[in-house]
Amino acid sequence: MPDAHHKMLSDLIGRVAKADRRAFDALYQASSARLNALCLSILKDRREAEEVLEQVYIGIWKDAARFPDSGLSPTAWLAVQARDRAMRRRGALALPPVLAGGGAADALALLRAAYLEGLDYRQLADRHGISADEARHALHEGLERLAGHAADDADSVAAAEQALGLRQGEPTDSAQLADWRERLARFADDLTPVMAPARAWQRIRESLGHGVAPLSVDPLERAPWWRGTGGILALILLAAVAAWFLWGR
């Protein structure tokens, strides 16, 4: 149930704020696949997403005490931590241009792409073969549909654009910014969770001085054959051969 999940995450973040390492381990296990999927959606590169995810959780460990003042649900607060860092990394990278000719898309789909892929007005326009003004108008229409009412208040639109990373500077109304961040973060629920490699968790723990104790095994990092079923069978066979030499001859 969402309420139970939110309560669990809130409790874990609160304990992380008190430097509870077990809570930090549990928080990573409960949320990292979702945040990794969001980073990957924006950056389109697994290694870049992995590096950003590491910085996200290092930041969460240091900034968890700020969560109660954010005005956000725990899932939205975590999504903001991941998206903000992924957007900064995206801005620093020379990513390939967005391909034109993506075809028409409704306003809510454009808004979803702006949030989940970090696209700005020009990139949305290039993708769908429309002007930047048309992309801006469509995005504002998407904001209205998401909010369920007209987004004709200038401060509200400015807060929404800042939540999307389309506008810089301090918002005129922090409550409106929090409201839009909460609404937009729901798009992250559309993503299929993607487990990060075990090495990402190891590096996070090492960076924070927590030691190395991965919660799960990376399926791409296979253990040596002798530590699995093959090793057991080989040991049994070796014992049988030894017994035959000792007593069967």
Please write the tens of the pLDDT for every residue from 39-67: 999 999 999 999 999 999 999 999 999 99
Average pLDDT over residues 182-198: 96
What whole-number percentage of the chain has pLDDT above 70?
A: 80
Residue 113 pLDDT > 90: yes
**Residue 212 pLDDT level (bands cut at 50, 70, 90):** low
**Residue 218 pLDDT level (bands cut at 50, 70, 90):** very low
**Residue 211 pLDDT level (bands cut at 50, 70, 90):** confident
Mean pLDDT of the chain: 86
Q: Return the pLDDT at 97.
A: 61
Average pLDDT over residues 212-224: 46
CA atoms within 13 A on the CB side of 240: 6
Rank 45-49, 118-122, 152-156 by mean pLDDT and report only the highest. Answer: 45-49
Q: How far is CA 92 from CA 86, 99, 159, 161, in A?
A: 10, 20, 23, 20
Q: Return the pLDDT at 46.
A: 96
Residue 219 pLDDT > 50: no
**Residue 168 pLDDT level (bands cut at 50, 70, 90):** confident
Q: How far is CA 89 from CA 17, 44, 55, in A?
A: 26, 11, 11
Average pLDDT over residues 161-188: 87
Cβ atoms of residues 86 and 42 within 8 Å: yes
Q: Return the pLDDT at 243.
A: 66
Average pLDDT over residues 223-247: 63
Specify the higher pLDDT residue, 159 or 79: 79
